[in-house]
């Protein structure tokens, strides 16, 4: 078994008086693809936001490489190699593709290394190379998603957290993006994937957790989960 | 937000203007234009009246403070409604040190900047976590607090203000002619423009741009949002304070009424009108705000109304400013 690099312990998050997360425990091991499944409002996105400190945790802890990162500022978490690709992509629509990518390496001061990383991202996403001078807003939904992932990869993260990369995309594009995620993973980046599209996510992932109203109700290997009857019923629409 | 597209500026005159802008965004024509302008402005006092020089000096002053506010509003995207307070801090620091303690004018400048940095930190550190409108209200309050404090303290001369601020001496010459101040403010404006360009192209400038576009995404990509914004506040304040110090030296007397809310509004107006974040745009805004009321003096009472109508028309047809930072897709505003 490889080592656990990210561990959540009794993590709670509140928006005012409303609990979004009620004590979540899970771990991610090095080199895995782990997926978080759940319906709308189950707390999937909140989990990612709490890990990356965009939303403060009200109780519990997040450990990354045995360091407590629960109360660090977002930028400090990025510096440690944990990157979050937010839902809805959040690329900079009025900056060019290249400028968007350069932002990803903001913490880096070495221009040669930056060039190398841009080349690597362009290799993964040839379409970004073609359109590097265009503004982000002119890209299609799928291309914007690729740009968001590419931008995150510019930091050379240890863990890449993706929030619904399939949202609003055509099935063929979704498959394309999932293939790329697989490839990124095979090159050594651990992946934490939040998805509503359980079928696609479970096919890709090694393990999965199912969230319901802020609690983990089920966990296990992806192939076990994809055969589980209640999941099939709730998320696979059969 | 982004869905609500603004009216596109598509008349033929508009396209001519756009291509002119594109031309001056290229390096060679820009440097050429700047050289010609500089040569002209250096020559100007030799052949013009005191009145013209007075107006031009005022214009340079406005260019400096507008560029200072542009760092806060244009670069970092923070709405600031109390900018006059920053040049009040500069002017009063120089005023007090000079008239009460007899310190040499040039030596007051570092203190003026330090005071502005402290003021910038005092207002910035607790409030920069606020967004948009809230920050605007706090800065508005801050501007009034500074003015009222200055009005009620003994050391600042209360409502009477300070008098007898010493004239600066440079190479043995006492600077007391309008021509002297014309050149002094001109040099300050040139420095402000150069510094603005350097900042715009720097790492810090990039970070401001990212934060302005999308705070959450910038922060998710590893930018320390609060710290970077604080830099904008501090640098912007320093610009304002320096201009304020020179203003004090030129006027030799300052009073709280020199730093009213209306001044903050006029500076902000110049920045928004010209094009937030775009350096030539902001300079253009400063020119419009200072020159139009002066040049239209003949019309008398109506000039302010005409000025207001002109501004309204401009904002209706060109909400992004006369010379905006980016002319691609419509902005979120």
Residue B219 distance to chain A (closest CA, Å) = 6
Q: Which of B130, B132, B133, B72 is nearest to B268 (CA)?
A: B72
- Phi then psi dihedrals of residue A57, to 5 deg: -80, 145
Question: Which residues are registered as beta bridge partners of A80?
Answer: none
Helices A97-104, A111-124: crossing angle, 10 deg rounding: 120
Question: Which residues are registered as beta bridge partners of A27?
Answer: A7
Q: Is residue B252 within 8 angstroms of chain A, CB to CB?
A: no
- Phi then psi dihedrals of residue A44, to 5 deg: -65, -55
Q: Quick one: pLDDT at residue B326?
A: 61
Confidence of residue B333 (pLDDT cuts 50, 70, 90): very low
- Residue ranges in A125-197 assigned as alpha helix (H): 126-130, 141-153, 171-186
Residue B218: closest C-alpha in chain A:
A103
The three-class DSSP label of residue A32 is coil
Tokens of A233: 């019923």
Tokens 């003026």 label which residue? B112
Which residues of A fall within a CB distance of 8 Å from B220?
Answer: 52, 54, 74, 78, 83-84, 86, 90
* Cα distance between residue B141 and residue B80, in whole Å: 10
Number of structural domains (chain A) is 1
Q: Is residue B1 within 8 angstroms of chain A, CB to CB?
A: no
Residues of chain B numbered 222-251 and touching chain A (CB < 8 Å): 222-225
The CATH number of whichever domain residue A130 belongs to comes to: 3.40.50.300
* Cα distance between residue A9 and residue A23, in whole Å: 7
Q: What domain range includes position A33?
A: 4-235
Q: How far is CA B40 from CA B36, B37, B186, in A?
A: 6, 5, 12
Which residues of A fall within a CB distance of 8 Å from B216?
Answer: 54, 86, 90
DSSP structure string for B74-124: IIS----S-THHHHHHHHHHHHHHHHTT---HHHHHHHHHHHHHHHHHHHH
Tokens of B129: 């976590």
- The predicted-structure confidence for A115-147, as pLDDT tens digits, reads as follows 888 888 888 888 888 888 888 888 888 888 888
Number of inter-chain CB pairs under 8 A, A vs B: 65
Q: How many CA atoms lie within 13 A of B31 on its CB side?
A: 2
- Phi then psi dihedrals of residue B42, to 5 deg: -70, -35
Q: Quick one: pLDDT at residue B171?
A: 80
Q: Quick one: pLDDT at residue B112?
A: 92
DSSP structure string for B18-73: HHHHHHHHSHHHHHHHHHHHHHHHHHGGGGS-HHHHHHHHHHHHHHHHHHHHHIII
Region B85-92 average pLDDT: 89
DSSP structure string for B41-52: HHHGGGGS-HHH
Q: Which of A75, A77, A48 is nearest to A158 (CA)?
A: A77
Q: How is residue B112 annotated by DSSP?
A: H
Element (H, E) at A107: none
Chain-wide mean pLDDT for chain B?
Answer: 81
* Cα distance between residue B63 and residue B37, in whole Å: 14
Percent of chain B whose predicted confidence (pLDDT) is above 90:
12
Is residue B247 scored above 80 in pLDDT? yes
Question: Which residues are registered as beta bridge partners of A210?
Answer: A37, A218
Question: Which residues are registered as beta bridge partners of A162?
Answer: A85, A193
Q: Residues near B144 by Cβ (< 8 Å), separated by ≥ 6? A: B82, B261
Interface test with A, best of B220, B328, B332 (most A CBs within 10 A): B220
Residue A104: closest C-alpha in chain B:
B221
Element (H, E) at A64: strand A59-64
Q: How is residue B74 annotated by DSSP?
A: I
Gyration radius of chain B over CA positions: 20
Q: Is residue B221 within 8 angstroms of chain A, CB to CB?
A: yes
Which residues of A fall within a CB distance of 8 Å from B207?
Answer: 106
Please state whether B130 falls in left (phi above 0), alpha (psi between -120 and 50) or beta. Answer: beta
| pLDDT per residue as tens, chain A (238 positions) | 578 888 888 888 888 888 888 888 888 988 899 998 888 778 888 888 889 888 888 888 888 888 888 888 888 888 888 888 887 767 888 788 888 888 888 877 778 888 888 888 888 888 888 888 888 888 888 888 888 888 888 888 899 999 888 888 888 888 888 999 999 999 889 999 998 888 888 888 899 888 888 888 888 888 888 887 777 666 655 4
Q: Do B209 and A151 touch (CB under 8 A)?
A: no
What's the pTM value of the predicted model, to 2 decimals? 0.80
């Amino acid at each position: 078994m490889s080592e656990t690099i990210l561990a959540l312990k009794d993590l709670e998050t509140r928006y005012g008086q409303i609990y979004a997360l009620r004590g979540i425990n899970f771990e991610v091991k090095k080199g895995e693809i782990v997926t978080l499944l759940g319906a709308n409002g189950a707390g999937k996105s909140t989990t990612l936001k709490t890990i990356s400190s965009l939303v403060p945790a009200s109780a519990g802890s997040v450990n990354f490489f045995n360091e407590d990162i629960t109360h660090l500022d977002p930028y400090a978490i990025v510096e440690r190699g944990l990157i979050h690709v937010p839902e809805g992509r959040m690329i900079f629509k009025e900056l060019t593709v290249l400028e968007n990518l350069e932002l990803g390496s903001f913490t880096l001061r070495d221009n040669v290394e930056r060039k190398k990383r841009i080349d690597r991202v362009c290799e993964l996403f040839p379409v970004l190379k073609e359109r590097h001078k265009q503004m982000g807003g002119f890209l299609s939904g799928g291309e914007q998603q690729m740009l968001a992932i590419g931008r995150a990869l510019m930091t050379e993260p240890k863990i890449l957290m993706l929030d619904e990369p399939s949202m609003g995309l055509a099935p063929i594009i979704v498959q394309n993006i999932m293939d790329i995620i697989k490839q990124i993973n095979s090159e050594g980046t651990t992946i934490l994937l939040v998805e509503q599209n359980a079928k696609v996510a479970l096919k890709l992932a090694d393990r999965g957790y199912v969230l319901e109203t802020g609690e983990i109700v089920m966990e296990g290997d992806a192939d076990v989960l994809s055969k589980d009857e209640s999941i099939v019923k709730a998320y696979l629409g059969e | 937000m982004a869905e609500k597209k603004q009216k596109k500026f598509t008349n033929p005159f508009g396209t001519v203007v756009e291509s002119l802008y594109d031309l001056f965004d290229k390096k060679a024509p820009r440097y050429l234009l700047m050289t010609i302008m500089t040569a002209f402005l250096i020559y100007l006092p030799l052949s013009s009246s005191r009145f013209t020089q007075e107006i031009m000096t005022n214009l340079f002053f406005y260019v400096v403070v507008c560029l200072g506010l542009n760092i806060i509003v244009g670069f970092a995207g923070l709405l600031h409604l109390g900018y006059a307070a920053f040049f009040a801090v500069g002017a009063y620091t120089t005023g007090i040190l000079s008239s009460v303690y007899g310190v040499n004018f040039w030596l007051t400048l570092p203190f003026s900047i330090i005071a502005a940095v402290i003021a910038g930190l005092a207002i910035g550190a607790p409030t920069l976590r606020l967004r948009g409108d809230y920050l605007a209200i706090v800065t508005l309050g801050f501007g009034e607090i500074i003015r009222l404090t200055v009005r009620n303290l003994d050391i600042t001369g209360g409502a009477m203000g300070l008098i007898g601020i010493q004239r600066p001496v440079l190479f043995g010459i006492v600077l007391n002619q309008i021509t002297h101040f014309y050149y002094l403010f001109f040099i300050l404006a040139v420095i402000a423009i150069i510094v603005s360009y350097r900042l715009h192209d720097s790492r810090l400038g990039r970070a401001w741009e990212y934060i302005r576009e999308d705070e959450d995404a910038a922060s998710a990509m590893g930018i320390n949002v609060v710290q970077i914004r604080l830099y904008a506040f501090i640098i912007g304040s320093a610009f304002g304070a320096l201009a304020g110090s020179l203003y004090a030296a030129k006027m030799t007397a300052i009073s709280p009424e020199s730093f009213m809310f209306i001044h903050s509004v006029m500076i902000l107006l110049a920045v928004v009108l010209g094009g937030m974040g775009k350096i030539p745009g902001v300079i253009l805004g400063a020119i419009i705000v200072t020159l139009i009321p002066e040049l239209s003096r003949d019309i008398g009472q109506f000039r302010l109304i005409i000025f207001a109508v002109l501004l309204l028309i401009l904002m209706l047809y060109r909400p992004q400013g006369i010379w905006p930072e980016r002319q691609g897709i419509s902005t979120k505003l």
